[in-house]
Structure 1
Amino acid sequence: MSTNPKIHKHNVTGKNLILSILLNTLITIAQVIGGIISGSLALISDALHNFSDVLSLIFSLVAHKLSRRKASISHTFGYKRAELIAAFINASTLIVVAFILIYHAIIKLAHPEPIESNLVIWLALLGIAVNGFSVLLLRKDAAHNLNMKSAYLHLFTDMMASVAVLTGGLLMKFYQIYWVDSVMTLLIAVYLIIVGTDLFIKSTKMLMLFTPDNIDIKDIVREVHQIKGVGKLHHIHVWHLNEEELHLEAHLDCAADIKMSEFNDLLHEIEEVLYEKFNINHVNIQPEFQKVDPKDFIVQD
């Protein structure tokens, strides 16, 4: 397997995650106490979401640490896929939490009760400040890493949830519209389902080793077949090992019975094309010459 030396990796550190965990633990405790005292379901739902944030951030931190471990004889890829598993689990928890919130919101919508709006407003403002700061901490890392993106989305949706809680608190304070607490909870839940489902689908595709959505196998074949000395590229597999590493393995039927040194030159040309055109940075190609086997692009091995 060849690795393109030009690959540039964004250096993701775990320090911002640790700080976010501490901040979200504090806001969760405050919101639970405040929700019980005020009687606000939206505040308790925000606290529940915050608690799921804490768990997801801890899991993301563990996965991040594992992904940095070096490969070994018993773990030839190391733990590079740990962050994909974390993203998958975090997405799943977002969806589960959303349905729990919907259930409780519907029950309370049928039986609205007076709520201490002042406490709701102040704790919502605290939630916006804490989660907004955490979002800024992880924003850059989220653009380069699916695991960090899952943690970022947890925090961003919780910041939006706090905005919704604040809106509801203001309406309750000035207009005594107490049913808005349940409505805001439902809106928070719907938003969680939307962002959670998108992340769930992306992480599932990577874990299942599906061909990335931006990659067309036929385009790869078309480009590689333009290289002199290439007969036919077949038995092709393209997948993400993690966010940074895009792999391709295939069989190459050479146009002539060339020496291994000549194949090395041919392989280098193929690697350059695959990296420049498709950003594929790990290439593993099995050379062949007039071998009798299926020559389809995709073959069930």
Structure 2
Amino acid sequence: MSHNHNHIHKHQVQGKNLLFSILLNIVITIAQVVGGIFSGSLALISDALHNFTDVISLIISYVAHKLSRREASFEQTFGLKRAELIAAFVNALSLIVVAIYLIYEAISRFFHPHDIQPTIVIWLATLGIAVNGFSVLLLKKDADHNLNMKSAYLHLLTDMLASVAVLVGGLLMYFYQIYWIDSVLTLIIALYLIVVGFDLLLKATKMLMLFTPEEIDIEEIVRSVNQIKGVKLLHHVHVWHLNEEELHLEAHLDCSEDIKLSDFNDMLHQIEKVLFEEFHINHVNIQPEFQKEDPKEIIVQD
């Protein structure tokens, strides 16, 4: 069995940006809870609740980020590299759960309206936009390269948009006394949370379940490898993400001739080059065979 790693130059995620965002969101959450109680605004309280889930999700993301950097050991041969995928899954699920609760509260409040003090709503929504907007800018670059950071980024982005909606609602209540807008905006925020949360949940689930990445065509991989001199058939193929930085391929390789190990090493080098350059696969694990009697299908249930 031959195993090789090709390392792609990757963006270094900055955990300190995440830590700073956690502190900012703790402050805004406390302010919005107090303001929501005094103003009577469900939209403001829902924004605070979402901010609280932000704090939890950011802490989960930060811990997962630190765990994923741990070195491998005899007990944890992959280290804890999948911790960030688990964090992304949990955070996405929390977005959906919060959204369902907000829908329930918004419908209830729509039929049983409360008096709302729009001035408090306007000031705290403005504060929420400023704090979450700054946090979004801090995490933007990391979110483009890391699913865990993207889950944290989406929590902050949706909360910033929620604060914008709350601000609009506060202005409408202040100038036109349209108090039902509070419930309508809460519903809109909740529906948006479900959309972005489900998309993230689906991506994290596929990686955790070791699905073949959407951009990978296994039949095309087999065709490319089979063209290399000395290769008879690549089969028993598995392709999966260990995490977002590591794309693995494991397969059996039926050789056309009974070659020496040194010759197989040369063949393997060519295979690794093709897989890395054409498919961005940077971890290759191949079992060489010659006239071995076993199923030769591309995909075989091991």
Q: Shorter-chain TM-score: which interval? A: over 0.9
Structure 1 match to 2:19: 18
What are the Cα deviations for residues 209-252 of structure 1, in whole angstroms up to 9, with x where unaligned? 00001111111011111111110000000000001000000000
* Aligned CA-pair RMSD: 0.6
Q: Shift of residue 59 of structure 1? A: 0.4
1:110-121 equivalent positions in 2, closer than 5 A: 110-121=111-122
What are the Cα deviations for residues 117-173 of structure 1, in whole angstroms up to 9, with x where unaligned? 010001000000000000000000000000000000000000000000001001101
Separation of aligned partners in 2, 1:219 and 1:170? 57
Separation of aligned partners in 2, 1:189 and 1:84? 24
Q: Which runs of 4+ in 1 moved over 4 A?
A: none
Letter in 2 for 1:181: D
Q: Shift of residue 204 of structure 1? A: 0.2
Q: Shift of residue 52 of structure 1? A: 0.1
Structure 1 match to 2:208: 207
**Gaps in structure 1 of 5+ consecutive residues:** none
Q: Secondary structure at the match of 2:243?
A: coil
Give the TM-score taking structure 2 as reference length.
0.99
1:108-257 equivalent positions in 2, closer than 5 A: 108-257=109-258
Give the TM-score taking structure 1 as reference length.
0.99
Structure 1 match to 2:265: 264
Letter in 2 for 1:213: E
Letter in 2 for 1:111: H
Letter in 2 for 1:63: A
Structure 1 match to 2:70: 69
Structure 2 match to 1:90: 91
From 3, 6, 9, give the equivalent of 1:4. Answer: 6
Q: Shift of residue 113 of structure 1? A: 2.2
Separation of aligned partners in 1, 2:221 and 2:170? 55
Separation of aligned partners in 2, 1:57 and 1:299? 40
Separation of aligned partners in 2, 1:83 and 1:10? 15
Separation of aligned partners in 2, 1:71 and 1:113? 56
Structure 2 match to 1:297: 298
Letter in 2 for 1:177: I
Separation of aligned partners in 2, 1:259 and 1:121? 76
Q: Secondary structure at the match of 1:133?
A: helix
What are the Cα deviations for residues 70-100 of structure 1, in whole angstroms up to 9, with x where unaligned? 0000100000000000000000000000000
**Gaps in structure 2 of 5+ consecutive residues:** none
What are the Cα deviations for residues 237-280 of structure 1, in whole angstroms up to 9, with x where unaligned? 00000010000000000011110000001001000100111100
Separation of aligned partners in 2, 1:175 and 1:219? 62
Q: Shift of residue 114 of structure 1? A: 2.3
Letter in 1 for 2:93: S
Separation of aligned partners in 2, 1:175 and 1:23? 32
Letter in 2 for 1:118: T
